Amino acid sequence: MQHIGRLFLPQRRGESTLHTCSVAPYQFVFPVCGELRRRHQFLNCFWMDSRIKLLSIDFDGTLVSRISEPVLDAQCMELIRKLQKAGAIWAINTGRSVDLLESGLADFAFPIRPDFILTTERDVFRPGRNGDNWEPFGDWNARCARDHAELFSSVETVIAEFVDFVTQKTKARLLYNWEGLEGLVAENDEEMERITDFIKRARAEHPKLDYQRNTVYLRFCHADYHKGAALGELARLLEVPREHIF
């Protein structure tokens, strides 16, 4: 787990962790990778702590609730808006692609816009010159794409073994993009456990081959690129010290 000030960045592969925020006389502890409980206290904690300069929040299950009402909390949005007005930078850090995130912002009628977006758990974007579209921030996305292409080219045999295992031994559905195999959707958590066990054995000689998992969804990735790394690059570009990041 990576520590930033008094706060903690999420681990890779969708693993659950805790955020702790202490503002005397209150202390809030809550799960990040599950449904975000007590969203009012969560953001009130930010508002009371003027050290926060860069705010990174997940989309599904955090900003947007899938199992409780309201799906989008108006008071939560207002607190983020106040933080932005006070000078804090808000970034959405998500596994969604740019297009899927934009669809989500529109579908849920978000009243405010993020200052930056970190997508597919790896890429960094800033607003485009026209104010509507997003463009890569720095050369991070290009380096990320290059390193992924080189990695997947070097592990073609492992990927072929993986495809054979999934198609012959599971009911999981393989997912492809224009570059090739992207990941899969398992039938259930038990099946996903068997699949990840296979990956761990198969990639023993390729430590840079990693994956990001969220319940029954899995995406292959380079071990050096994940939500925490993307946030670290954004902070570097914006020159925001670690102790001012949440």
pLDDT in tens, 224-244: 999 999 999 999 999 999 999
pLDDT in tens, 176-234: 988 899 999 999 999 999 999 999 999 999 999 999 998 999 999 999 999 999 999 99
Residue 6: the pLDDT is 29
For the chain, domains (ranges, CATH) are 3-121+226-244 (3.40.50), 143-222 (3.30.70)
The helix/strand count (H/E) of the chain reads as 7, 13
Nearest to 90 by CA among 222, 213, 218, 234: 234
CB atoms closer than 10 angstroms to residue 219: 20
Residue 14: the pLDDT is 38
List alpha helices for the chain, DSSP H: 39-48, 74-85, 98-107, 140-154, 156-169, 189-202, 227-238
Q: Does residue 118 have a pLDDT over 80?
A: yes
CA distances from 96 to 103, 118, 156, 227, 228 (A): 10, 9, 25, 12, 15
Backbone angles phi, psi at 144, to 5 degrees: -60, -45
Residue 131: the pLDDT is 64
Contact 233, 160 (CB under 8 A): no
Task: Check the CA dihedral 125-219-63-93 and report its sign.
Answer: negative
pLDDT in tens, 49-96: 567 899 999 999 889 987 878 888 888 899 899 999 999 999 999 999
Nearest to 108 by CA among 79, 71, 74: 71
Residue 12: the pLDDT is 38
Q: Does residue 104 have a pLDDT over 60?
A: yes
Residue 155: the pLDDT is 96
| Distance (Å, whole) CA 14 – CA 214 | 5
Most confident of 10-14, 33-37, 77-81, 135-139: 135-139
Most confident of 12-21, 22-31, 201-210: 201-210
Query: Pairing relation of β-strands 173-177 and 180-185?
Result: antiparallel
Contact 56, 231 (CB under 8 A): yes
Residue 29: the pLDDT is 34
Confidence tier at 130 by pLDDT (50, 70, 90): confident
Residue 167: the pLDDT is 98
Tell me the pLDDT of the chain averaged across its residues: 83
| Sequence letter at residue 78 | E
CA distances from 73 to 21, 32, 104, 109 (A): 20, 17, 15, 11
Q: How far apart are the first and last CA of the chain?
A: 14
Residue 176: the pLDDT is 94
Residue 28: the pLDDT is 32
Query: What does the pLDDT average to over 122-139?
Result: 90
